[in-house]
Structure 1
Amino acid sequence: SLIMDNVSVVRTFTLTGINETMDYRAAIFSLTLVYYCVILFLNISLIVIIVVDENLHEPMYVLLCCVCINAVYGTTGFYPKFLLDLLSFAQEISYEWCLFQAFVMYSFACGELSILAVMAYDRYLAICRPLHYHSLMTKRRLSQLVSFSWLTPFCIFSVSILLTSRLELCRLKIKRLFCVNWIIVQLACPDSDTLANNVVSYATIFIYVSHGFFIVWTYMHLIRVCATSKDDRVKFMQTCVPHLVSLITFLTVIVFDLMYMRFGSADMPQSLQNFIAIEFLLFPPMMNPLIYGFKLTKIRNRILSLVYLR
């Protein structure tokens, strides 16, 4: 009974994922700080370019702007805390901040997938139904789709985090660089009722796997249509290839992480576990603005005009 009282009083988690990297903390801190600054610079630059240039106020660029905003949101949920942990001797996080970080990580990842699904739908309309594109993809429809992309994961993970906050925890060590809802649930006392958490967790996986299937179906249809027309092939190469690269990168890193989290071995080196865990915070936020910036003609021309003006 005394132990249980102590457990319920403790409001701090220990993040043990960083332990193995302590020998190189100065080098890792410097690289991480530079990397995070570059991510912020690239994404914020693209957001500003799209907001300021009225020629870029089209659905495709508005959605790209959403991807960049999402990247800033997600990486800010991880990198500042990680940099702070590299400077401190005890890698601790309060219970409330841990739940908040778990919420940010999940909503960032699922928000990204939702926006990529809307982008796939936008490209499908632009290439397969060009005559109806402007009547179907109105400003109102676009704002509804963007709202859906962000509000859905926010609502789902609010429920998920609320359910987790009800659990009584018996262990306080998180073997990760950041807080993850599924791992917090695993720290619950043996007699805790985690059924509701599991139901919401699997329902969420089902919802976002169906997003993935929708995107794959859309692209199979696009490729089939573009194979018959040279003009459509050019349009596909210009506007869909960056999206496809972005999508494949994101899905690969997320599937890797999910598979490891559910079925991975604890015997794997900690550094490899860390790398798998943060892939989705390393590659998509850096690659997306670079791929789109170089590949989409209007954005590339706008960047070049700004560079030459200077």
Structure 2
Amino acid sequence: MINSTKISYFSLVAYFDTGVFKYLYFMVIMSLYFFIVSANVLLIVVICMNRSLHEPMYLFLCSLFVNELFGSTGLFPFLLVQILSDIHTVSASFCFLQIFCLYTYASVEYLNLAIMSYDRYLAICCPLQYNTRMTSKKIGTLIAITWLYSCFVMVVWLSLATPLQLCGNIIDKVFCAAHSVVKLACSNTSGSNMYGLIVSFGIIFIALNVILYTYLHILRVCFSGSKQTRQKAVSTCTPHLASLLNFSLGASFEILQSRFDMSRVPNMIRILLSLYFLTCPPLFNPVMYGLKMSKIRALSKSLISNVGY
């Protein structure tokens, strides 16, 4: 039985020898990371600098873009180093730090999308009461709760996971994953597993109920309302629904890989599926919102042209 304090590093065995192609992979990953950082930073700056965008919907979007920068930074620089390295190891302390960053990102992303659906519900179903019910104080409270709660549950998980006695240090992934570390434990993991299930179920249950409740009411208003109301609902809800489905799909891939044997699936496919929820939302969301929302699109073009001059 090996105590966790004696495990100084983990080996990531999902990496395979790519030969000279590793430089191509490095350039692809670097380009993706550069695009994610540029697009998300651009939209954060646009929202922060323009008072006309200091509205609930755009402030929640700003929180979403900040979270995507946070999650991407917890993954992409690490991937770039590992791609060029011949030895794919990570220190135990950094592994737990990466788990904290990536799973906090996932929690914030899902809760933020739930809050955005509530905001759209108030705007479409209760337009006359919107400004009184969605105040600046309420916006700040909802964003703060989303981040603080997500950080808190991960700190508690780390306090349960780090003392575990581990019988190995092999992780069959290209990044550190919570379930992969817990599976290495040779001591009793019931507390950590139960806590993880309760927290995951709680976040999914709360967020899913909020989303279903709000969209059922939005659909009801659309069917009974005017053509203008339907057009407003479609224009504001389409990007949100697309973001929600995109992230949920990626998270489902990760949950399936964590809980079921995927050894028959080709290694490259497993890697791509495990990275989906960490790479596609940060790529997809700024493009979707930047192109779909005319206000953001116009102000982004104006900012880019001013910087060019």
Closer, same or farther in 2 for the Cα pair 1:272/1:21, shift >3 Å? farther
SS in structure 1 of the partner of residue 11 of structure 2: strand
2: CA distance between counterparts of 1:250 and 1:224?
Answer: 25
Residue aligning to 1:207: 202
Counterpart amino acid of residue 218 in structure 1? T
For structure 1, the 5+ residue unaligned runs are: none
SS in structure 1 of the partner of residue 174 of structure 2: coil
Residue 99 (1) aligns with residue 96 (2): yes
SS in structure 2 of the partner of residue 131 of structure 1: helix
Residue aligning to 2:173: 176
SS in structure 2 of the partner of residue 13 of structure 1: strand
Counterpart amino acid of residue 202 in structure 2? I
Distance apart, 1:220 and its partner CA: 2.2
Residue pairs, 1:12-27, within 5 angstroms = 12-19=9-16, 21=18, 24-27=21-24
Residue aligning to 1:142: 139
Closer, same or farther in 2 for the Cα pair 1:277/1:21, shift >3 Å? farther
Residue aligning to 1:88: 85
2: CA distance between counterparts of 1:168 and 1:308?
Answer: 57
8 A contact 1:29–1:83 mirrored in 2? yes
Aligned residues: 305
8 A contact 2:174–2:271 mirrored in 1? yes
1:100-132, Cα deviation, whole Å (9 max, x unpaired): 101111110110001001100000001101111
Identical-residue share of aligned pairs (%): 34
2: CA distance between counterparts of 1:241 and 1:115?
Answer: 16
8 A contact 1:21–1:271 mirrored in 2? no
Residue aligning to 2:71: 74
Root mean square deviation of aligned Cα: 1.5
Distance apart, 1:301 and its partner CA: 1.7
Residue pairs, 1:106-121, within 5 angstroms = 106-121=103-118
1: CA distance between counterparts of 2:17 and 2:251?
Answer: 23
Residue aligning to 1:227: 223
Residue aligning to 1:159: 156
Distance apart, 1:224 and its partner CA: 1.8
Q: Hey, which bits of structure 1, 4+ residues long, moved more than 4 A? A: 20-23, 307-310
1: CA distance between counterparts of 2:214 and 2:156?
Answer: 30
Q: 1:64 aligns with which of 61, 69, 72?
A: 61
Distance apart, 1:8 and its partner CA: 4.6
- Greater alpha carbon shift after TM alignment, 143-152 vs 20-29: 20-29
Closer, same or farther in 2 for the Cα pair 1:148/1:22, shift >3 Å? farther
1: CA distance between counterparts of 2:38 and 2:67?
Answer: 14
8 A contact 1:50–1:61 mirrored in 2? yes
Residue aligning to 2:274: 277
1: CA distance between counterparts of 2:111 and 2:65?
Answer: 14
Residue aligning to 1:43: 40
2: CA distance between counterparts of 1:163 and 1:46?
Answer: 37
Q: 1:243 aligns with which of 240, 245, 250?
A: 240
SS in structure 1 of the partner of residue 224 of structure 2: coil
1: CA distance between counterparts of 2:59 and 2:112?
Answer: 11
- Greater alpha carbon shift after TM alignment, 282-291 vs 210-219: 210-219
Distance apart, 1:212 and its partner CA: 2.0
Counterpart amino acid of residue 290 in structure 2? G
SS in structure 2 of the partner of residue 152 of structure 1: helix
Distance apart, 1:193 and its partner CA: 1.2
2: CA distance between counterparts of 1:238 and 1:94?
Answer: 46
2: CA distance between counterparts of 1:231 and 1:4?
Answer: 65
For structure 2, the 5+ residue unaligned runs are: none
2: CA distance between counterparts of 1:4 and 1:308?
Answer: 59
Task: Give the TM-score taking structure 1 as reference length.
Answer: 0.94
SS in structure 2 of the partner of residue 265 of structure 1: coil
Counterpart amino acid of residue 221 in structure 1? H
1:20-75, Cα deviation, whole Å (9 max, x unpaired): 54562111001000110000000000000000011000010001011100000001
Counterpart amino acid of residue 206 in structure 1? F
